[in-house]
Structure 1
């Protein structure tokens, strides 16, 4: 049921929500999302859909990856995600662990590496063109801003380099 709703909302030919809303909700293009789902599914035996002893289907790779990406994209609580996809909190935690491990395995060498000189030069150029002079310094924590009127519940949470 939840997989059907997910498909109808985002992944069929004429979905309920268009690509603009998909990008807003998942923080990426649908083509990138599909690439991640395909690569993670191909490289981790946890993600392909299987049947259990009673011939009941497990969660689909799309459901698992959607859950993980929504939690990571929003910093959402497990409760916020489990209502839409109807997954238990323990399953969502399990999915997150497998998803993060798989993303590191599949994409770590290409995307999760330390920036080199060419990367920094490209980022500096793009930042300068968009009016963010010295952008690299802020990414590398060389520039610090004081947050006036910070909510008291967050006081000290974003101090220092960590």
Structure 2
């Protein structure tokens, strides 16, 4: 199986680049950025909103920054990457490649299937008993002085920009 990690990481980096820009003029915070991109190759990327891959849809890559991804029963996706959001793969959904959640949870329900690796960094990996993963399963969440290390890293990277990420600590599921 061909790994799609590099192209997916490049797409995520491109979307995150404006967040790392330094703006010396301190202005009032602007409303949360929300955008969605549908590429010609069948990939979808969102920022500041949720992405739902519906039953019967087949897409290449699904990417979300500061948003969640839900893959419904009967949907097929190549690779999934979420930064500061949650990935939910419902029963009967299939991911042909890898699933990566940075700063969020990764949930596989029922008979959800991932053929590649699953990684949850700064969040938890929760799998139902019937869910299957063909590759490696990795989950790492480190708290330092009561604060998640991955979230601290993102906060530090953005401290000199106008961009802020909300972590949804007060939101209920």
**TM-score range, shorter-chain basis?**
under 0.3
Give the structure with the higher percent helix: 1
TM-score norm. by structure 2 comes to 0.24
Give the structure with the higher percent strand: 2
